[in-house]
A and B are shown apart, each in its own frame.
Chain A
């Protein structure tokens, strides 16, 4: 069982917006701004999409945005494109473990 809870799947049509949630506790998501989101295409390495809850690394389209409310973080993909179809993982620091915790991953399907 993953420490952070994500829905196993999400979907949307091209051009639509989709939001993926990541629920933890006050000891991880709710307690720190260390939430990151990673995109992983099949057979490829994870790619950082969002860090510090809502910041985008250089080169990541502004269609990707992050937010947090209480113990739940969210990744929103706006203007869905076919290449956005991938697995998405959230991650958070925890006060008790420098390794941090991952969510179980969400498979995003572009219909």
Chain B
């Protein structure tokens, strides 16, 4: 059974840092690209970051570029998101999601349960 379990969320002051983790199981983690997606309270979904299966390609949303760093450790079946210089507008539930690609298209077929990040003084 595919499982994605996020951890590391919590309350942090503006300007602070936090590191999120996503533990993967039930599939060959190193074969899949991964994403972080967030959802502010009462709002819609927002793509945050992408990483290729071996980490060779990385992309960020404009809203987090220069402050967030995505990484992965395939030996530990884990995905990470280092978040620095946090702002109130970064307050959200953060989800990790597996990117599945067929021969014709890609989608995100499995999502974790999310971890809440609250940025407040």
- CB within 8 Å of B: which residues of A? 2, 32-34, 36, 38, 44-48, 51-52, 57, 89, 91, 93, 97-105
Contacts and interface: CB of A to CB of B under 8 A. Distances in A.
A58 to B, nearest CB: 10
Given A45-B95, A52-B102, A102 B44 contact: yes
A89 B88 CA distance: 24
A14 B41 CA distance: 29
A46 B95 contact: yes
A97 B60 CA distance: 9
B107 A102 contact: no
B95 A34 contact: no
18 contacts: A2-B44, A34-B105, A45-B95, A46-B37, A48-B108, A48-B109, A51-B109, A52-B102, A52-B105, A52-B107, A97-B59, A98-B57, A99-B59, A101-B47, A102-B44, A102-B46, A102-B47, A103-B44
Interface of B: prevailing SS: strand
Contacts of A99: 35, 47-50, 59, 61
Interface of B: 35, 37, 44-50, 57, 59, 61, 95, 97, 100, 102, 104-114
Contact of A46 (B45, B100, B104, B105): B45
Most buried by B among A32, A48, A52, A104: A48
Given A45-B113, A99-B59, A36 B108 contact: yes
B71 to A, nearest CB: 17
Given A45-B112, A99-B50, A51 B105 contact: yes
